[in-house]
Amino acid sequence: MGFVSTVLGFTGFGAGVSAGLVVGYFIFIYFQPSDVKDPVIRPLIEQDTATLQRLLPEIPLWVKNPDFDRIDWLNKFIEYMWPYLDKAICKTAINIAKPIIAEQIPKYKIESVEFETFTLGSLPPTFQGMKVYVTDEKELIMEPSLKWAGNPNVILAVKAFGLKASIQVVDLQIFAAPRITLKPLVPSFPCFAKIYVSLMEKPHVDFGLKLLGADLMSIPGLYRFVQELIKDQVAGMYLWPKTLEVPIMDPTKAMQKPVGILHVKVLRAMKLKKKDLLGASDPYVKLKLTEDKLPSKKTTVKHRNLNPEWNEEFNLAVRDPETQALELHVYDWEQVGKHDEMGMHVVPLNDIPPDEPKVMTLDLLKNMNPNDVQNDKLRGQLVVELTYKPFKEEFIPKDFDDSRNVEKAPEGTPTSGGMLVVMVHEAQDVEGKYHTNPYHVKKNRDPRWEEEFHFMLDEPPTNDKMHVEVQSVSSKIGLLHPKECLGYVDINLSDVVSNKRINEKYHLIDSKNGRIQIELQWRTSA
260: domain CATH number is: 2.60.40.150
Q: How many domains does the chain have?
A: 3
Domain, as residue range, for 214: 59-252
- Is there a domain that residue 371 lies in? yes
- From CA 403, how far away is CA 501, in angstroms rounded? 10
Region 59-88: what's the mean pLDDT?
81
Task: Pick the closest to residue 258 from 454, 485, 8 (CA basis).
Answer: 454
Q: How far apart are CA 347 and CA 353, in angstroms?
A: 12
pLDDT of 447 strictly over 60: yes
Q: Is 37 helix (H, G, I), strand (E, B) or coil?
A: coil
Last residue of one domain, picked from the residues 188, 218, 252: 252
User: Is the pLDDT at 250 greater than 80, yes or no?
Assistant: no
Measured CA distances, 72 to 65, 155, 274 (Å): 16, 32, 71
What does the pLDDT read at residue 135? 78
Domain assignment present for 181: yes
- In three-state secondary structure terms, 297 is strand
Dihedral sign for Cα atoms in the order 295, 376, 349, 324: positive
Rounded Cα–Cα distance for residues 488 and 485 (Å):
8
In this structure, the answer to whether residues 467 and 340 fall within a common structural domain is no
Strand (E) or helix (H) holding 15? helix 2-30
Do 212 and 336 fall into the same domain? no
Enter the DSSP assignment of 189.
T
Give yes or no: residues 247 and 266 share one domain. no
Of the residues 230, 252, 274, the one at which a domain ends = 252
Are 341 and 362 part of one and the same domain? yes
Q: Are residues 131 and 188 in the same domain?
A: yes
Greatest mean pLDDT range, 44-48, 111-115, 128-132, 395-399: 128-132
What average pLDDT does the chain have?
79
Positive or negative torsion for Cα 493, 494, 499, 503 = negative
Same domain, 227 and 330: no
In a domain, residue 265? The reply is yes
* Residue 39 domain flag: no
Whether residue 385 is found in the same domain as residue 439: no
Is 265 in the same domain as 283?
Answer: yes
Q: 244 and 262, same structural domain?
A: no
User: Is 336 inside any structural domain?
Assistant: yes
- With respect to residue 190, please indicate whether it lies within any of the assigned structural domains: yes
Q: Is residue 399 part of a domain?
A: no
Residue 490 pLDDT level (bands cut at 50, 70, 90): very high
Q: How confident is the model at residue 402 (pLDDT cuts 50, 70, 90)?
A: very low
Does one domain contain both 295 and 229? no
Of 521, 518, 512, the residue nearest 427 (C-alpha): 518
Q: What is the mean pLDDT of residues 199-213?
A: 76
Domain match, 240 and 341 both: no
In a domain, 407, yes or no: no
Report strand pairing: 381-390 vs 309-318.
unpaired
pLDDT at site 406: 61
Average pLDDT over residues 271-291: 81
| Residue where a domain terminates, one of 185, 220, 252 | 252
Would you place residue 399 in the very low, low, confident or very high pLDDT band (cuts 50, 70, 90)? very low
pLDDT band per the 50, 70, 90 thresholds, residue 401 = very low
User: Do residues 487 and 462 lie in contact, with contact meaning Cβ atoms separated by under 8 Å?
Assistant: no
Query: Are 313 and 234 within one domain?
Result: no
